[in-house]
Amino acid sequence: MSNANNAVVFSPSDVEAVTGASYPGALKEICEERHKRRLGNHAGLANFGVNLVTLKPRSGSSLRHWHSKQDEFIYVLSGTATLVTDAGETTIGPGQCAGFAAGESNGHMLANNTDEDVVYLEVGDRTPGDTCSYPDVDLVGSYTGTGYAFTRKNGEPV
């Protein structure tokens, strides 16, 4: 990593990949082969995150979800993913992108149903007070400033 005119310059390979997700119990299985390099954190960014994500074959990006206050954006670099939303499934490949506006209750996730890796950039903001809703499971995530704390939809601990 170097500093050129107050910019942090580095290679994504300099950033350790974090594998999996912080979901409770068996809910994390879908993400066991998801590898994130937290580029925004490495660059010292505070207002939004940028992740370089690799989905291995037969894995998923997350549980289907939507955010109350945080926007999300993805840009596919390589491979072919299946974008799953309330409207159904759509194939998304290299050079294509998708955005998910805060507060729109359209649960979404990416699935890699192929035999090759899918690599994409994921960008999201870090608006305080965000909650993440998961329409397919009994789960709600509340943003803590560094990650999400999970409860059941009725507020009980998971």
pLDDT tens across 101-111, in order? 999 999 999 99
pLDDT tens across 119-152, in order? 999 999 999 999 999 999 999 999 988 889 999 9
Q: Which of 120, 15, 131, 34 is nearest to 75 (CA)?
A: 120
Bridge partners of residue 82, in order along the sequence = 91, 111
Class level of CATH domain 11-127: mainly beta
For position 7, what pLDDT does the model report?
A: 87
Q: Is the pLDDT of residue 3 over 70?
A: no
pLDDT tens across 45-64, in order? 999 999 999 999 999 999 99
Res. 1 pLDDT band, cuts 50 70 90: low
Instruction: Please report, for residues 76, 95, 131, the alpha-carbon distance to residue 102 in angstroms, rounded to integers and kept in the order given.
Output: 20, 23, 10
The CA dihedral of 13, 16, 20, 21, to the nearest 10 degrees, is -120
Confidence (pTM): 0.93
139 exposed, middle or buried (CB, 10 Å; 0-12, 13-18, 19+)?
buried
Instruction: Please report, for residues 6, 8, 53, 66, the alpha-carbon distance to residue 62 in angstroms, rounded to integers and kept in the order given.
Output: 34, 29, 11, 11
> Checking DSSP bridges between strand 48-55 and strand 118-125, what pairing results, if any?
antiparallel
